[in-house]
C-alpha cells in the first residue's frame, strides 16, 4: 500500500499493491491510483485512511 499526492509519486503508486492518491493530489496521480482518500493532506487524510483501512 502506498500514498501519494504529486507527480513524483506516480511510479510508487503504480508499483504498489494498492495505491492511494490524496484528495488534493495532482490529476495525473489520481488517474493511476486505485483509490482516492476522502480527506486531504491538511485534514489528516493519511491518518484517516490508515485507521479506516486497518483499524475498522
Non-local (6+) Cβ contacts of 25 within 8 A are: 4, 5, 6, 9, 33, 36
Predicted pLDDT at 53 = 85
Whether the predicted pLDDT of 56 surpasses 80: no
Q: Say how many C-beta atoms besides its own lie within 10 A of residue 28's C-beta.
A: 13
In the predicted model, what is the mean pLDDT of the chain? 94
SS3 category, 2: strand
pTM higher than 0.85 = yes
Amino acid at each position: 500500500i502506498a500514498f501519494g499526492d504529486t507527480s513524483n509519486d506516480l511510479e510508487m503508486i503504480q508499483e504498489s499493491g494498492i495505491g492511494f492518491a490524496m484528495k488534493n493530489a495532482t490529476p495525473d496521480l489520481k488517474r493511476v491510483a486505485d483509490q482516492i482518500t476522502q480527506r486531504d493532506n491538511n485534514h489528516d487524510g493519511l491518518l484517516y485512511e490508515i485507521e479506516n483501512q486497518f483499524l475498522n
